[in-house]
Chain A
Amino acid sequence: MTDATQPTARSKTSLYATDARTKRRNAAEKRFRVYGIVAIATGLVFLVVLLASIVWNGIPAFTQTFVTIQVELPEEKLDKSGERDLEVMKKVSTFGYAPLIDNALAATLEANGIDSPFSKNKDLRKIMSASAAAQVRDAVLANPEIVGTTQEFRLLTSSRVDGYLKGRVTRDSIARDKNLDAEHLDIVDQLRDLGVVVKTFNWDFILGADASESRPESAGLGVSMIGSFFMMLVVLALSLPIGVAASIYLEEFATQNRFTDLVEVNISNLAAVPSIVFGILGLAVFIQFAHLPSSAPLVGGLVLTLMTLPTIIISTRASLKAVPPSIREAALGVGASKMQTVFHHVLPLAMPGILTGTIIGLAQALGETAPLLLIGMVGFIASDAPDTFVDGFLSPNSAMPAQIYEWAKRADPAYYERAWGGIIILLVFLMAMNILAIMLRRRFERRW
Chain B
Amino acid sequence: MKDNSEGRKLVDQMDLKFEARDVQVFYGDNHAIKDVNVDILDNTVTAFIGPSGCGKTTFLRALNRMNDTIPSCRVEGDIKLDGEDINHPSVDPVQLRAKVGMVFQKPNPFPKSIYDNIAYGPRIHGLAKNKAELDDIVEQSLRRGALWDEVKDRLQESGTGLSGGQQQRLCIARAVATEPEVLLMDEPCSALDPIATAQVEELIDELKQNFSVVIVTHSMQQAARVSQKTAFFHLGNLVEYGDTDHIFTNPQDPRTESYITGRIG
**A448 contact set on B, CB distance < 8 A:** 111, 160
> Contacts A329-B66, A447-B160, A448-B160: A334 and B101 contacting too (C-beta < 8 A)?
yes
Q: Given contacts A326-B108, A448-B111, A448-B160, is CB(A333)–CB(B175) below 8 Å? A: yes
Q: Give bound CA distance, A113 to B109, whole Å.
A: 86
A327-B108, A330-B171, A333-B102 known, 6 other contacts, Cβ within 8 Å: A327-B111, A330-B109, A335-B94, A335-B124, A340-B124, A447-B111
A256-B174 contact given A330-B104, A335-B121, A448-B111, CB 8 Å threshold: no
In this assembly, does B98 line the interface, its C-beta being within 8 Å of a C-beta of chain A? yes
Q: Is A184's CB within 8 Å of the partner chain B? A: no
Q: Given contacts A329-B104, A447-B160, is CB(A335)–CB(B125) below 8 Å?
A: yes
SS of A interface (majority): helix
* Chain A 225-256 near chain B by CB (<8 Å), digits 1 or 0: 00000000000000000000000000000011
Q: Number of B residues whose C-beta is below 8 Å from A? A: 27
Give the chain A neighbours of B103 by CB distance below 8 A: 333
**B249 interface residue per 8 A CB criterion:** no
B34 interface residue (CB < 8 Å to A): no
Measured in the bound complex, the distance between the Cα atoms of B122 and A334 in whole Å is: 9
Identity of the chain B residue whose Cβ is nearest the Cβ of A340 in the assembled complex: B124
A84 within 8 A of B: no
In the complex, the answer to whether A334 meets B174 with C-beta atoms within 8 Å is yes
Taking the nearest CB of chain B, how far is it from the CB of A351, in angstroms? 12
In the complex, which residues of chain B have a beta carbon less than 8 angstroms from the beta carbon of A446?
A: 111
Is A41 positioned at the interface, with any CB of B under 8 Å from its CB? no
A315→B160 CA distance, assembly (Å): 26
Alpha-carbon distance A255/B69, docked complex (angstroms): 10
Q: A335-B178, A340-B124, A448-B160 are in contact. Are A345 and B110 (CB under 8 A)?
A: yes
| Residues of B near any A CB (own CB < 8 A) | 64, 66, 69, 71, 94-95, 97-98, 101-104, 106, 108-111, 120-121, 124-125, 160, 171, 174-175, 177-178
How far does the alpha carbon of A114 sit from the alpha carbon of B121 in the complex, in Å?
A: 89
CB neighbors of B among A324-352 (8 A): 324, 326-337, 340, 344-345, 349
Expressed in whole angstroms, the Cα–Cα distance for A335 and B124 within the complex equals: 8
Chain A hits for B109, CB < 8 A: 330
CA distance A340 to B208 in the complex (A): 30
Kindly identify which residue among A330, A334, A447 contacts B178, using a CB–CB cutoff of 8 Å: A334
Q: Choose one: A255, A335, A447; the contact of B95 (CB below 8 Å).
A: A335
Task: Determine whether the beta carbon of B111 is less than 8 Å from that of A255.
Answer: no
Name the residue in B66, B120, B171, B174 with the highest tally of chain A Cβ atoms < 10 Å from its Cβ.
B120
Give every chain B residue within 8 A of A327 (Cβ-Cβ).
Answer: 108, 110-111
> Which residues in A have their C-beta under 8 angstroms from that of B121?
334-336
In angstroms, Cα B108 to Cα A37, docked, is 42
Q: A255-B71, A335-B95, A336-B94 are in contact. Are A330 and B110 (CB under 8 A)?
A: yes
Q: How far is the CA of A255 from the CA of B178 in the complex (A)?
A: 29
Q: What would 24 A/B residue contacts be, using CB atoms closer than 8 Å?
A: A256-B71, A326-B104, A326-B108, A327-B110, A327-B111, A329-B104, A330-B109, A330-B171, A332-B66, A332-B69, A333-B66, A333-B101, A333-B104, A333-B175, A334-B101, A334-B121, A335-B94, A335-B95, A336-B94, A336-B121, A336-B124, A337-B94, A349-B111, A447-B111
Interface string of A413-448 (1 = CB under 8 A from B): 000000000000000000000000000000000111
B104 touches A335 (CB 8 A): no
Distance between Cα atoms of A171 and B152 in the complex (Å): 84
Contact assessment for B108 and A334 in the assembled complex, using a CB-CB cutoff below 8 Å: no
- A335 and B98 within 8 A (CB): yes
Q: Of residues 398 to 416 in A, which have CB atoms within 8 Å of B's CB atoms?
A: none
Chain B neighbourhood of A330, CB < 8 A: 104, 108-110, 171, 174
**Contact partners of A256 in chain B: CB under 8 A:** 71
Docked pose: A335 CA to B120 CA in angstroms = 10
Q: How far is the CB of A396 from chain B (nearest CB, A)?
A: 49
- Supposing A334-B175, A349-B111 touch, asked if A328 and B120 sit within 8 A by C-beta, the answer is no
Q: Report the bound CA distance from A335 to B177 in whole Å.
A: 11
Q: Is the CB of B106 within 8 A of A326?
A: yes
Q: How far, in whole Å, are A212 and B258 apart by their CA atoms in the complex?
A: 93
Instruction: Report how far A334 CA is from B174 CA in the complex, Å.
Output: 8
Query: Considering only CB atoms, which chain A residue lies closest to B120 in the complex?
Result: A334
List residues of chain B with CB within 8 A of the CB of A337: 94
Interface residues of A in 127-169 (CB under 8 A from B): none
Identify B97's interface contact among A324, A335, A345, A447, CB under 8 A.
A335
CA gap between A349 and B64 in the complex, in Å? 26
Which 10 pairs, one residue from A and one from B, show the smallest C-beta to C-beta distance?
A335-B98, A326-B108, A334-B121, A333-B102, A335-B97, A330-B108, A448-B111, A337-B94, A446-B111, A334-B178
Which has the most chain B C-beta neighbours within 10 Å: A255, A331, A334? Answer: A334
Interface 1/0s, chain A 294-335, versus B by CB < 8 A? 000000000000000000000000000000101111111111
B199 shortest CB reach to chain A, Å: 20
The answer to whether B97 and A334 have CB atoms under 8 Å apart is yes
Q: How far is the CA of A332 from the CA of B100 in the complex (A)?
A: 11
Most B CB within 10 A of own CB, among A331, A332, A446, A447: A332
Chain B residues contacting A334 (CB-CB under 8 Å) are 97-98, 101, 120-121, 124, 174-175, 177-178
User: Which residues of A lie under 8 Å from residue B66 when comparing CB positions?
Assistant: 329, 332-333
Q: How far is the CB of A441 from chain B (nearest CB, A)?
A: 16
In the complex, how many angstroms separate the beta carbon of A431 from the nearest chain B beta carbon?
31
A248 to chain B, nearest CB (A): 16
Query: C-beta contact mask, A254-274 vs B, less than 8 Å → 1, else 0?
Result: 011000000000000000000
Closest CB-CB distance, B99 to chain A, in whole Å? 8
